[in-house]
């Protein structure tokens, strides 16, 4: 499984080059499916215009608008109501999955409910996450990021990587996302963690992790 876990999309040359290196063919020859689901669980982002902006490539966070051969929409909340034969082959054949930001626990819930979480490890596609779309891969997100409450409670996510992420470090529109806040968050995480600004991404290929950054990030070892 190939993961490119970004804070704010493919928004600099280093992250773009990392994505190109992970693909088996050029972006212009690659098909993509975008996943807006996390947005609907977040009070700022959906439903409404923000979801449309992501899907249409007008969000200002480069993902859908990178020049793919084709882009489709994979809405996870709809998948449990249709036969798997209608969507599983589509996911298996796509080259890239593009997961929007929003609420990581809402996204984790619907990844499990839809069956996508079970399918992910077997896919050949490159998974590109942004913000919550990246955080969902962690074992847990930490109390700092609990918004939507899962039916069983807690802050557990998918656990497809062994580290947690604190995105949007020192973002001008998120005054609470300071390094001090990240350090306090990391102290409560059960395992290693990264704080990362919007110029940073984490590349994971077959369990090997590499930080791709033109900005600021910090690694917190497990306690």
The domains found in the chain, sorted by start residue, are: 2-220 (3.40.50.880)
Region 93-118 average pLDDT = 98
- For the CA atoms of 222, 171, 42, 136, what is the dihedral angle to 10 degrees? -30
CA angle 78, 92, 5 (to 5 degrees): 80
What 8-state DSSP symbol labels residue 156? B
Instruction: Report the Cα 30 to chain-centroid distance in Å.
Output: 19
The span from the CA of 138 to the CA of 55, in Å, is 24
In this predicted structure, what is the pLDDT of residue 174?
A: 82
pLDDT band at 154 (very low <50, low <70, confident <90, very high): very high
Query: For residue 124, is pLDDT > 90?
Result: yes
Beta strand 126-130 with 2-6 is parallel
Q: How far apart are CA 3 and CA 1, in angstroms?
A: 7
DSSP state of 83: -
Residue 223: per-residue pLDDT = 61
Query: What is the pTM (predicted TM-score) of this model?
Result: 0.96
Q: Which DSSP helix (H) or strand (E) runs through 205?
A: strand 200-205
The rounded distance, in Å, linking the Cα atoms of 135 and 144 is 12
């Amino acid at each position: 499984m190939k993961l490119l876990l970004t804070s704010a999309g493919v928004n600099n040359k280093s992250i773009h080059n990392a994505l190109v290196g992970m693909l088996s063919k050029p972006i212009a020859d690659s098909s993509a499916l975008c996943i807006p689901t996390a947005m609907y669980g977040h009070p700022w982002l959906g439903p409404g215009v923000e979801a449309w902006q992501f899907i249409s490539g007008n969000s200002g966070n480069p993902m859908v608008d990178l020049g793919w051969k084709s882009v489709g929409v994979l809405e996870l909340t709809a998948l449990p109501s249709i036969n798997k034969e209608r969507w599983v082959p589509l996911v298996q054949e796509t080259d890239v999955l593009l997961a929007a930001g929003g609420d990581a626990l809402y996204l984790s819930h619907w990844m499990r409910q839809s069956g996508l979480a079970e399918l992910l490890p077997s896919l050949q596609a490159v998974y590109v996450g942004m913000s919550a779309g990246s955080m969902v891969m962690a074992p847990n997100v930490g109390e700092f990021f609990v918004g939507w409450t899962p039916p069983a409670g807690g802050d557990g996510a998918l656990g497809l990587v062994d580290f947690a992420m604190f995105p949007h470090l020192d973002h001008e529109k998120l005054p609470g996302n300071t390094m001090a806040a990240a350090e306090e968050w990391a102290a409560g995480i059960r395992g290693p963690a990264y704080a990362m600004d919007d110029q940073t991404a984490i590349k994971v290929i077959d369990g090997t992790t590499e930080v791709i950054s033109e900005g600021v990030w910090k690694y917190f070892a497990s306690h």
